[in-house]
Amino acid sequence: MMKLMKSALAGTTVLAGLSFSLAASAADLTIALSNPVNTFDPHMTASVGSDLSVLSHIYPSLILRGPDLALQGNLATEWTLVDDTTWHFTLREGATFANGEALDAEAVKWNLDRVRDPELQARVASWFSLVSEVNVISPTELEVKTSSPYPAFADQLSMFLLLPPQWTEENNPVTATMAGGPYQVRNIVPGESVILEPNPEYFGDPAEFDTVTFQVIPETGGRIAALLAGDVDLVTGIPVTEVDRINQSGNATAGAVDSTRNVMIKFNTTVPPLDNVTVRQALNYAIDKEGIAQALFNGLAQPAQCQVLSSNYFGFNPDLEPYPYDPERAIQLLAESGADLSQPIVFDVPAGVYLQGTEVAQVVASQLTDIGLNIQITELEFSVYMNKYLQSRELAPLSLLAQAWPTIDADGLLTLFAPGNNYAYWDDADFGAALDEGRSSTDPAVREAAYKTATEVMCEQAPAIFLYTQPATYAYSNDVTWTPRGDDWVRAFDMHPAE
Amino acid sequence: MGDFFASLVKSRSGLFGFVLLTLLVLVAIFAPLLGLASPIRGDLLARLSPPTWTGPFNPGPHPLGTDEVGRDVLSRIVHGSRLTLMIAATAVVLGGVVGTLLGIAAGFYGGIVDRVLMRLVDIQLALPLMLLALLVVAALGPSFNNLIIVLALTSWIRYARIIRGQVLSLREREFVQSAHAIGASTVRIMLRHILPNVLTPALVVATLELARIIIMDAALSFLGLGVQPPSPSWGRMLADGRVYISTAWWIVTFPGLTILLTVLSVNLLGDWLRDYFDPKLRTSR
């Protein structure tokens, strides 16, 4: 009988697309994902846009990043920095997982120990490499000591989800789940959808939706069509040209906000001709950043201010000015540089990863051709690109890259350019020294000054062409309300049924 | 030759295919002389302009509109025809030569050669073509030559299968037997007596393959494994323009139509060729 019910339900879902919309009843929510969920173990993934967003419904965290991008408590009601290297957390009383396991300081300690266990090789282990000691003071009080100041620790915790200790010992969290967050799993179709229902045991505000479905729709056109048909309530990552069309349809609201992801043309400064700083500066003069932001993104993208940080980051340097668009000056600088520019310069472009990435790459290549360079675009799969970037260490002289750091703090994003960092392909001692200074203190003023120096060095030395901040485009149906946000979180508990 | 054209003119669909294809090849050859806008350099400010057509002899600056970085769609289709047709033709020739030779060898020698070759064909038939293409391009890297190799690789089996069957019956025929009897070498028999007799079916397979390969190139470009930007190719244009299908239909529609017409004309020509060489249908000549 149960089986019969299920197939009848499935039938209704199929029909819903044709006749009426399931999403039309406000208590059901459907969110479109472009990528399937790869793992259900929250310590084995760092991709906020898919895995962590889905899992944040199932597992609680100490701290959440709210719709306003500010931190708010979840399991932790209060957190304070006792001294430079000691954090103190106060937890909610009486919180439990759905199976009755206590969600207390012991459980948090167990989770922090789990990710730091070298044997587990947790994907997120590096976030906690500075954590040296976790002490349980009482079931609702926890103390964490770090080996050196770690000002971004609280921000990082907003991406750290908590597993139930005992249950995890007996089950495989990669495939099974045990709720402790606002929702629990009803049904999973691998690669297709994850359906959630409220978790009655949740310690926080009760869930507002009867079901939450994460539906994987890889193709952009498909996501938009599903939204306009009323099958889906929230889609992200739509082309900017669709924004007006969706708004005009009257069924949904679309728009864009600044994301935390900053797009650049990454230089491999270890190979000629990009080991020459004059060439790197010339390339920055050659690109019309403003024009790209205006023409390709209808003005919805924010041109970069000669740094990889966008204005929403802590440590953003408002005093820097972008390199002006000046092809004449670029040609002149190239001539002065004395670099050998006769060889074609390979420009790697990961396919289908960044919003309108191929278009940007073609415009950039065409503007670089204008100053007399021989640019050869190679499109490759993102995994192939990442392999070249990090494993085989054969990054092309130029490549299209967008980087973000979820703590929205200069410390994380700039470290990707630090001397010796795997991601850097750039070695600048002054820059490294400035970063070290920023990390040595938890005083915001000291840190800000250090990152000001770091960004100035970076602008001057130009290890990349600083392009623009990628707009976070979105569209949501009239059945729900949602606060658009620039980081990648898509969460049902940030949404409400419309009146 | 006169007989050939007389028959072609009689067959309307064959003539249609022939004329269209000739036109296409001519356009491809003379593309740079047509005075079109650059297919590579775009005008960012004119991005996604709709087709302008203000009168029969007065096309606007972009008769078929512009694409997502402001390049003229018409110019890209015209210049893209060079790359697309060149890739398709090279792949067809390569696959055809390899497939025909292996097919003759398999049919003529029989035995272990036949079994090994035909099992190879079976294995490849069991592999999805797209997967094979993905594997090869992923291993060798995307480049113009590798693309042609991949396309040829997916194509030789069809020739081999059909030619082998033909050769199986041919090798028992009297003229082959007599060549044997007067002491002709195997290579001479294969090249002098068998090959001319299997050219017709090979030619017919080639026309069908040409159509398939153009579509396959489009599919590979979809996956970013085909022609690299900013070089224009029809498949590439489809792949890049699909995101805009609801707001700028012309970016995908016109290259799509061009592929449709090309494939149609090749197929019509192939159809007619088959009829032309079919002895049973030749009574009227």
CB atoms A291 and B44 under 8 Å: yes
Does residue A227 sit at the B interface (CB-CB below 8 Å)? no
Distance CA B159, CA A471 (A): 51
For A94: left if phi > 0, alpha if psi spans -120 to 50, otherwise beta; the answer is left
Determine the pLDDT at residue A382. 79
Contacts of A468 in chain B (CB under 8 A): none
- Contacts of residue A50, defined as CB under 8 A and 6 or more positions apart, other chains included, come to A33, A34, A35, A36, A37, A38
- pLDDT of the residue at B56: 64
A492 touches chain B (CB under 8 A): no
> Taking the model in full, what pTM does it have?
0.78
CB A323 within 8 A of CB A306: yes
B164 class by beta-carbon count within 10 Å (0-12 exposed, 13-18 middle, 19+ buried): buried
Average model confidence (pLDDT) for chain A?
88
Least confident window among A4-13, A282-291, B13-22, B135-144: A4-13
B70, B41 Cβ separation under 8 angstroms: no
Q: How far apart are CA B251 and CA B50, in angstroms?
A: 9
Give A325's pLDDT tier (boundaries 50, 70, 90).
very high
**Within an 8 Å CB–CB cutoff, is residue B50 touching chain A?**
no
Report the percentage of chain A scoring pLDDT > 70. Answer: 95
- Facing residue for A379 by CB, picked from B45, B138, B142: B142
Confidence of residue A88 (pLDDT cuts 50, 70, 90): very high
The predicted pLDDT at position B150 comes to 86
pLDDT in tens, A208-262: 999 999 999 988 888 999 999 999 999 998 888 889 889 998 889 999 998 989 9
Q: Which fold has domain B14-31+67-284?
A: MetI-like fold (1.10.3720)
Quote helix, strand, coil % in chain B, to nearest 5: 75, 0, 25
Q: B246 pLDDT band (50/70/90 cuts)?
A: confident
CB atoms within 10 A of CB B111: 8
Q: Residue B99: what pLDDT?
A: 94
Chain B residue whose CA is closest to A360? B69
* B154 has a pLDDT exceeding 70: yes
- How far apart are the C-alpha atoms of B52 and A407, rounded to whole Å? 49
Q: Which residues pair with B53 in a beta bridge?
A: B59
The whole-number average pLDDT for the span B195-216 is 84
Cβ contact, residue pair B243, A291, below 8 Å: no
For residue B282, name the pLDDT band (cuts at 50, 70, 90): low
The count of residues in chain A is 499
**Chain B residue with minimal CA distance to A375?**
B230
Mean pLDDT over the full length of chain B: 85
* Residue A170, token pair as written in the block: 């007996």
How many other β-carbons are positioned within 10 Å of the β-carbon of residue A272?
15
The two counts, helices (H) then strands (E), for chain A are 15, 19
Q: Would strands A131-138 and A141-146 be described as parallel, antiparallel, or unpaired? A: antiparallel
Closest CA to A351 of B64, B223, B98, B111: B223
pLDDT of A462: 94
Which pLDDT tens digit goes with each residue over B98-152?
999 999 999 999 899 999 999 999 998 898 877 887 787 778 877 788 888 888 8
Q: Which of A352, A377, A381 sits opposite B229 (nearest CB)?
A: A377
Instruction: Assess whether pLDDT exceeds 50 at residue A177.
Output: yes
Average pLDDT over residues B245-266: 89
Cβ neighbours of A94 (radius 10 Å): 11
Strands A183-189 vs A193-198: parallel, antiparallel or unpaired:
antiparallel
pLDDT value at position A23?
42
Give yes or no for residue B54 having a pLDDT over 70: no
Mean pLDDT of the region A462-476: 94
Chain A residue whose CA is closest to B139: A384
Residues A355/A237, Cβ–Cβ less than 8 Å:
yes
Evaluate whether ipTM surpasses 0.85.
no
pLDDT band at A149 (very low <50, low <70, confident <90, very high): confident
Q: Is B195 helix (H, G, I), strand (E, B) or coil?
A: helix
CA distance B160 to B118: 8
Confidence of residue B243 (pLDDT cuts 50, 70, 90): confident
Local confidence band at B222 (pLDDT 50, 70, 90 cut-offs): low
Q: What percent of chain B has pLDDT over 90?
A: 30
pLDDT band at A421 (very low <50, low <70, confident <90, very high): confident
Domains with residue ranges and CATH for chain A: 56-170 (3.90.76.10), 258-471 (3.10.105.10)
Chain A residues closer than 8 Å to B41 by CB: 366
- As a whole number of angstroms, the longest Cα–Cα distance in chain A is 81
Q: How many CB atoms lie within 10 A of CB A149?
A: 19
Residue of chain A nearest B68, judged by CA positions = A359
Question: How many CA atoms, within 13 angstroms, populate the side-chain half-sphere of residue B46?
Answer: 17
For the beta carbon of residue A20, count every other beta carbon within 10 angstroms. Answer: 12
The pair of structure tokens assigned to B190 is 């294969």
Q: How far is CA A238 from CA A51, A400, A413, in A?
A: 19, 19, 25
A418–chain B nearest CA distance, Å: 31
**Alpha carbon distance A291, A325 (integer Å):** 9
pLDDT given at position B274: 79
Contact B230 A362 (CB under 8 A): yes
The pLDDT, as a whole number, for residue B59 is: 65
Given a contact cutoff of 8 angstroms between Cβ atoms, the answer to whether A434 and A447 are in contact is no
- Select the residue from A235, A248, A362 to test the B interface by mutation, using most B Cβ atoms within 10 A: A362
- Over residues A178-206, the mean pLDDT reads 91
Q: Is the pLDDT of residue B159 over 80?
A: yes
A284's CB contacts (< 8 A; 6+ apart) are: A306, A323, A462, A465, A466
Beta strands A252-267; A398-403: pairing state: antiparallel
pLDDT for the residue A19: 37
The letter for the amino acid at B91 is A
Q: Is the pLDDT of residue A16 over 50?
A: no
Average pLDDT, stretch A346-369?
89
Q: Of B69, B228, B247, which has the smallest distance from its Cβ to A241's Cβ?
A: B247
Q: In chain A, which residues have their Cβ closer than 8 Å to the Cβ of B72?
A: none
Span of A29-43, A385-399, A433-447, B228-242 with lowest mean pLDDT: B228-242
Radius of gyration of chain B (CA): 22
Model pLDDT, residue A22: 43
d(CA A28, CA B198): 65
pLDDT of residue A24: 41
Where are chain B's structural domains?
14-31+67-284
Average pLDDT over residues A304-321: 93
pLDDT score, position B149: 87
* pLDDT reported for residue A25: 46
| Residue B55 confidence (pLDDT) | 61
